[in-house]
């Protein structure tokens, strides 16, 4: 009998990545779908040849013809659907970001721990699938010396036009304490360099209202357009994150790791160079066998069928990055002192 997958939510990533990823695997069937409405669920079923349409996530999770669920909703439903599915005996692949906040993430982890025989996986940050393991090895091997400082810049001008429609990621009622791409980069940093300790953060909502794409009415923006956080890391380094949708033509996006003997510069697109102090840069190539590419669905199925542990990304690792997101959000609202 095939492994029967049920889809809860069928947004862009589910349609572009998860459905094709599952369909290419032998012994796997996408057996059912539930989306935001019966009509949208039927459209997805018709487009991808999915045999069953459910009227609710509750009905899908309760159905004995479903073995595992892929949750592709916005973060505001991740906790509810993950816990529901696990309690119903279903394996869970949940879209990132993990949850609205740390409390919800911990509830998801607790549910997975109550059901150790079920696979619980978060869709991982995909940016470093090519070079991430190599960079982590280089850091561990001391090829940069002692890490002193880390800078993460993700700057663009995508939000400058106030007529740009409101995205769900700009609404805290759907995204919770997640801000832009902060969490996804925290996850990458955890893979390479380890955990954060103390953190400070500041954010600005530059465009206070935007048109709702469904109603056309102006709605409040409740997630910052500019976000800066700085933290101490367990390894002793200082890390600074800068995210902005107000910075057109910005240069230097990516991650820079400054060590006592060398600097590593990683760029979006998963390319990087190592610059030993006083020497010419050299291009970093992935170590043999480490460039795995996108295989999220394959890893999920492997964990179910073979018992392989979840590496990218476990619920426990999701709680780690949600702790940084949550504490940074809390720091954003602490008192600041006036200078002038």
Do the Cβ atoms of 61 and 88 come closer than 8 Å? yes
Would you state the pLDDT for residue 150?
A: 98
Would you state the pLDDT for residue 338?
A: 62
Q: Residues near 62 by Cβ (< 8 Å), separated by ≥ 6?
A: 88
Q: What's the pTM value of the predicted model, to 2 decimals?
A: 0.95
CA distance 240 to 120: 31
Do the Cβ atoms of 50 and 7 come closer than 8 Å? yes
What are the residue ranges in the chain where pLDDT is below 50? none
Do the Cβ atoms of 6 and 54 come closer than 8 Å? yes
Would you state the pLDDT for residue 74?
A: 96
Would you state the pLDDT for residue 337?
A: 61
Backbone angles phi, psi at 294, to 5 degrees: -80, 115
Would you state the pLDDT for residue 84?
A: 98
Question: pLDDT tens digit string along 168-203?
Answer: 999 999 999 999 999 999 999 999 999 999 999 999
Surface-to-core class of residue 135, CB atoms within 10 Å of its CB (0-12 exposed, 13-18 middle, 19+ buried): buried
CA distance 235 to 257: 13
Would you state the pLDDT for residue 272?
A: 98
Of 6, 170, 186, 196, nearest to 98 (Cα)? 186
Q: What secondary structure, in 3-state letters, does 202-214 show?
A: EEECCCCEEECCC
Do the Cβ atoms of 107 and 78 come closer than 8 Å? no
Would you state the pLDDT for residue 335?
A: 61
Delineate the domains of the chain, giving CATH numbers in brackets: 3-126+294-311 (3.40.50.720), 132-292 (3.30.360.10)
CA distance 155 to 169: 16
The upper half-sphere exposure of residue 36, i.e. CA atoms within 13 Å in the direction of its Cβ, equals 5
Question: pLDDT tens digit string along 210-265?
Answer: 999 999 999 999 999 999 999 999 999 999 999 999 999 988 899 999 999 999 99
Would you state the pLDDT for residue 241?
A: 98
């Amino acid at each position: 009998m095939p492994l029967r997958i049920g889809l809860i939510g069928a947004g862009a990533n589910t349609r572009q990545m998860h459905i094709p990823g599952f369909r290419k695997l032998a012994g796997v069937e996408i057996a059912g779908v539930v989306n935001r409405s019966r009509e949208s669920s039927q459209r997805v079923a018709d487009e991808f040849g999915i045999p069953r349409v459910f009227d609710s996530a509750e009905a899908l999770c309760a159905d004995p013809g479903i073995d595992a669920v892929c949750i592709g909703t916005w973060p505001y439903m991740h906790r509810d659907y993950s816990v529901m599915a696990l309690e119903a005996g279903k394996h869970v692949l949940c879209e990132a970001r993990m949850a609205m906040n740390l409390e919800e993430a911990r509830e998801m982890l607790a549910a997975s721990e109550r059901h150790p025989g079920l696979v619980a996986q978060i869709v991982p940050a995909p940016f470093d699938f090519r070079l991430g393991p190599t960079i982590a090895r280089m850091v561990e091997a001391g090829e940069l010396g002692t890490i002193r400082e880390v800078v993460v810049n993700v700057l663009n001008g995508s939000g400058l036009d106030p007529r740009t429609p409101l995205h769900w990621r700009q609404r805290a009622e759907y995204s919770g304490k997640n801000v832009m791409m902060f969490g996804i980069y925290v996850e990458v940093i955890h893979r390479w360099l380890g955990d954060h300790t103390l953190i400070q953060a500041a954010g600005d909502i530059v465009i206070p209202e935007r048109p709702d794409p469904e109603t056309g009415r102006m709605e409040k923006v409740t997630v910052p357009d500019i976000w800066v956080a700085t933290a101490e890391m367990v390894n002793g380094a200082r890390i600074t994150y800068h995210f902005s949708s107000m910075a057109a033509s910005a240069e230097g996006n990516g991650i820079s790791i400054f060590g006592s003997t060398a600097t590593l510069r990683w760029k979006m697109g998963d390319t990087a160079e190592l610059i030993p102090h006083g020497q010419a840069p050299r291009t970093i190539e992935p170590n043999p066998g480490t460039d795995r590419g996108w295989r999220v669905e394959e890893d999920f199925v492997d964990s179910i069928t073979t018992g392989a542990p979840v590496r990218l990304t476990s619920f426990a690792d999701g709680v780690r990055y949600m702790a940084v997101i949550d504490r940074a959000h809390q720091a954003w609202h602490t008192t600041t002192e006036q200078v002038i």
